[in-house]
A and B are shown apart, each in its own frame.
Chain A
Amino acid sequence: MTAAGADPGAAIAATLGPSGGRKAAGGRRRKLTFDYVSFMVVFLGLPLAIFLIFVIWPFLQAVFYSLTDWSGFTPDMNLIGVENYIRLLNDDIFMKALGNNVLLAIVVPLVTIVLALALATLVTVGGPSHGPIRGLRNSSFYRVVSFFPYVIPAIVIGILWSQIYNPAGLLNGLLGLIGLDMFDSFAWLGDERTAMGATIFVIVWSFVGFYMVLFVAAIKGVPAETYEAARIDGAGRMRTALSITIPLIRDNIQTAYIYLGIMALDAFVYMQALNPGGGPNNSTLVMSQQLFRTAFNKGEFGQASAMGVVLAIVTLIFAAIVFTVNRVTGGREEKGRS
């Protein structure tokens, strides 16, 4: 999403918004000394200039280009209104890619969060049902190991798994060992039925550990008394997880959902590594791949910009849906802590 592509902190910061902290010290009038003016020019002007030129200006240009038939390398450019968008709506391949993105944005966050939450719960409050609330022994080992994939570049994760899914790769070898010979030289990424599932697994694999650590931190922020009270009231493990843990860390879950969804709506790196061509019968094609191809292989820059705008709109709609769902289901009232 940002240059810090695999960067959930971005989403975290984004949901934080401006904090209502103490007032800045700059309320009083300042003299326009050289010190002050040069300070403001360098401290604010320089970063802002870079940001405006390389981020905001391209965003605005993209919206404009999307209304033209520009091919990039010729100066002639005609405004053709929303024709690019209409063409996208009638483009079966792009709509298929959009569908795949929506599927990813629903499945990937759901599976990742459920798995991460389950593991985090085991690690933090999975210990004995008597005595102080605690997790399992040696749980920090699991935490360190699960986090490994997060520090591996996404493209390398993709390459690694494409070798594992290779007909002669690790997965088929393991399946052969336990006697499932029918998978001998089965191409997991080359079959329309399994390509998407295999891809989703790779993305989930790479993110579970990170969210596990995040949820562990969140659960540790819940006072132990809350868990003790629930236990005294006779709540079992399942009940505690569903009625105590999840409601109390729902803001963290919302952040995770938004970030994972935004990542799934992009998903460029993983797809490019696992199935650069879009997979069998375009079954793993995503919008970002189609955009990249349209722009840099075909040179249809106007059309590609329209795809970018669609991608941005879908992203915003997704974030809005997550926020709304969280609010409607009572996110704010149940909050136990700030």
Chain B
Amino acid sequence: MTTEAITTRGANRHDRKQQAHEHKSPSSSKRTFDRKPVNTPGDKAVGALSHTALVIWSLIVILPLLWTLMTSFKTTKEIFASPFSLPASWNFNNYVSAWTQEGIGNYFLNTVIVVGFALVIVMVLGAMCAYVLARYKFFGSRAIYYLMLAGLTFPVFLAIVPLFFVLRNIGLLNTLPGLILTYVAFALPFTVFFLYSFFKGLPDEIAEAAAIDGAGEWRTFFQVMLPMAKPGMASVAIFNFLGLWNQFLLPVALNTNKSNYVLSQGMASFASSAGYAVDFGALFAAVVITIVPVLVAYVIFQRQLQGSVSQGTMK
């Protein structure tokens, strides 16, 4: 892990140098020893074609989103009149009715509660479990590791029916705490796996030094090892956040009380329930309300997020 991280960083530095080189190129072309040749016509053609391909794909991604944004200001009547017409008046009526009448505000709040608690709990429990599995030898640790692997591999659908009855039997069906516990349980294997390799890579000497200095097991973990695992924790937290925020099957099956709905299932019921009588303007507004916070967070954190993606593959 560590060596890979270094090579990645090295590659990035290499990149930056290249960019710097590109910026300088007009002036550096005066130097006689600069071997950088002019771009051939073939290169230019390929470059143009490549840009065209990438621009087309970017448009395919962006246009639907922009269209959704524009449509979210139109009335249902305007929406059916023409897909392109601009809204007659730009106001937030659709947003207000989506947030209040359609209950999106309530779903949003539920989602924040459920995802917030589940994320904190799974990060703490996952880090503790991964730490013990990675750094302590005891009977059965391999078995636990493979059990976690099974939890990652088998589809949630296999568990969904019995899970319904497990929750019903302990009285947590259709409650937010029940949903939080299930989220934690199903996000745990991924968290443990990712952090397992992270804790394995931390040097032993530091834990030993902490032990010699008289720190107990608890203190070693919380004050020494956990802070060192921060980069790994951040990556996993981002993935878990997205996964839990988008979770659909678990709430749909296990959380059928409308006042407890989370955003994803609330959106689904909004889109399908009213059928023909749907307030389409409000539906589009609801879509925008769901997308915007995550998209804004993504644009702010996109460096870290793309870094996490690469980290996941490089290891």
| Contact pick for A129, options B43, B157, B306, CB 8 Å | B43
In the complex, which residues 219-254 of chain A have their Cβ closer than 8 Å to any Cβ of chain B? 220-221, 224, 237, 252
Asked if B268 and A145 sit within 8 Å, CB to CB, the answer is no
Asked if A147 and B152 sit within 8 Å, CB to CB, the answer is no
Cα A119 to Cα B52 in complex, Å, equals 11
Tell yes or no: A107 within 8 A of B by CB: no
| Contact pick for A130, options B39, B200, B298, CB 8 Å | B39
Complex interface: chain B residues within 8 A of A51 (CB): 147-148, 151, 185, 188-189
Give the shortest distance, in Å, between B25 (CB) and chain A (any CB).
Answer: 9
The contact string, 1 if C-beta is below 8 Å from chain A, for chain B 124-168, is: 011011011111111000001101111111111111111111100
Asked if B239 and A265 sit within 8 Å, CB to CB, the answer is no
Asked if A62 and B159 sit within 8 Å, CB to CB, the answer is yes
Complex interface: chain B residues within 8 A of A296 (CB): 164, 253
Asked if B268 and A3 sit within 8 Å, CB to CB, the answer is no
Give the shortest distance, in Å, between A102 (CB) and chain B (any CB).
Answer: 15
Complex interface: chain A residues within 8 A of B305 (CB): 147
Q: Known contacts being A65-B161, A311-B157, is A170 close to B61, with CB within 8 Å?
A: no
Q: Which residue of A lies closest to B135 (CB)?
A: A24
Cα A32 to Cα B250 in complex, Å, equals 40
Complex interface: chain B residues within 8 A of A281 (CB): none
Q: Known contacts being A16-B315, A156-B290, is A9 close to B162, with CB within 8 Å?
A: no
Q: Which residue of A lies closest to B219 (CB)?
A: A35
Complex interface: chain B residues within 8 A of A13 (CB): 152, 190, 193-194, 197, 312
Cα A122 to Cα B53 in complex, Å, equals 9
Asked if B21 and A132 sit within 8 Å, CB to CB, the answer is yes
Complex interface: chain A residues within 8 A of B204 (CB): 22, 25
Q: Known contacts being A145-B58, A156-B287, A295-B160, is A3 close to B7, with CB within 8 Å?
A: no
Tell yes or no: A179 within 8 A of B by CB: no
Asked if A129 and B243 sit within 8 Å, CB to CB, the answer is no
Cα A312 to Cα B248 in complex, Å, equals 19
Give the shortest distance, in Å, between B292 (CB) and chain A (any CB).
Answer: 10
Give the shortest distance, in Å, between B183 (CB) and chain A (any CB).
Answer: 5
Tell yes or no: B83 within 8 A of A by CB: yes
Asked if A5 and B135 sit within 8 Å, CB to CB, the answer is no
Q: Known contacts being A19-B197, A147-B306, A273-B271, is A5 close to B313, with CB within 8 Å?
A: no
Tell yes or no: A194 within 8 A of B by CB: no
Asked if B83 and A173 sit within 8 Å, CB to CB, the answer is yes
Tell yes or no: A205 within 8 A of B by CB: yes
Asked if A3 and B217 sit within 8 Å, CB to CB, the answer is no
- Among the 9-residue stretches A83-91, A92-100, A207-215, A321-329, the one with 4 or more Cβ atoms under 8 Å from chain B is A207-215
Complex interface: chain A residues within 8 A of B313 (CB): 12, 214, 217-218, 252, 255
Complex interface: chain A residues within 8 A of B186 (CB): 2-4, 54-55
Give the shortest distance, in Å, between B169 (CB) and chain A (any CB).
Answer: 11
Asked if A56 and B136 sit within 8 Å, CB to CB, the answer is no
Complex interface: chain A residues within 8 A of B280 (CB): 163
Asked if A152 and B153 sit within 8 Å, CB to CB, the answer is no
Cα A145 to Cα B82 in complex, Å, equals 27
Cα A60 to Cα B5 in complex, Å, equals 39
Tell yes or no: A106 within 8 A of B by CB: no
Give the shortest distance, in Å, between B315 (CB) and chain A (any CB).
Answer: 6
Complex interface: chain B residues within 8 A of A172 (CB): 83
Give the shortest distance, in Å, between B123 (CB) and chain A (any CB).
Answer: 11
Q: Known contacts being A58-B162, A119-B57, A311-B157, is A127 close to B248, with CB within 8 Å?
A: no
| Contact pick for A62, options B40, B71, B162, B294, CB 8 Å | B162
Tell yes or no: B272 within 8 A of A by CB: yes
Asked if B54 and A139 sit within 8 Å, CB to CB, the answer is yes
Asked if A168 and B190 sit within 8 Å, CB to CB, the answer is no
Cα A58 to Cα B111 in complex, Å, equals 25
In the complex, which residues 95-130 of chain A have their Cβ closer than 8 Å to any Cβ of chain B? 115, 118-119, 122-123, 126-130
Complex interface: chain A residues within 8 A of B294 (CB): 151-153
Tell yes or no: B283 within 8 A of A by CB: yes
Give the shortest distance, in Å, between B244 (CB) and chain A (any CB).
Answer: 6
Give the shortest distance, in Å, between A22 (CB) and chain B (any CB).
Answer: 7
Q: Which residue of A lies closest to B51 (CB)?
A: A136
Q: Which residue, B57, B150, B155, B305, has most C-beta atoms of chain A within 10 A? A: B155
Cα A46 to Cα B310 in complex, Å, equals 31
Asked if B165 and A220 sit within 8 Å, CB to CB, the answer is no
Sorted nearest first, the 10 A-B pairs with minimum C-beta distance are A4-B243, A3-B186, A217-B310, A54-B185, A173-B83, A13-B193, A61-B162, A58-B159, A26-B136, A58-B162
With A58-B160, A72-B165, A305-B161 given, name 11 new contacts (CB 8 A): A2-B156, A6-B246, A11-B152, A13-B193, A47-B128, A55-B188, A156-B287, A214-B313, A273-B268, A288-B157, A292-B157
A/B interface sample: 17 pairs, CB < 8 A: A3-B156, A3-B244, A5-B243, A7-B240, A7-B242, A9-B239, A14-B152, A47-B128, A54-B182, A152-B295, A153-B264, A155-B268, A168-B79, A220-B12, A296-B253, A305-B158, A308-B157
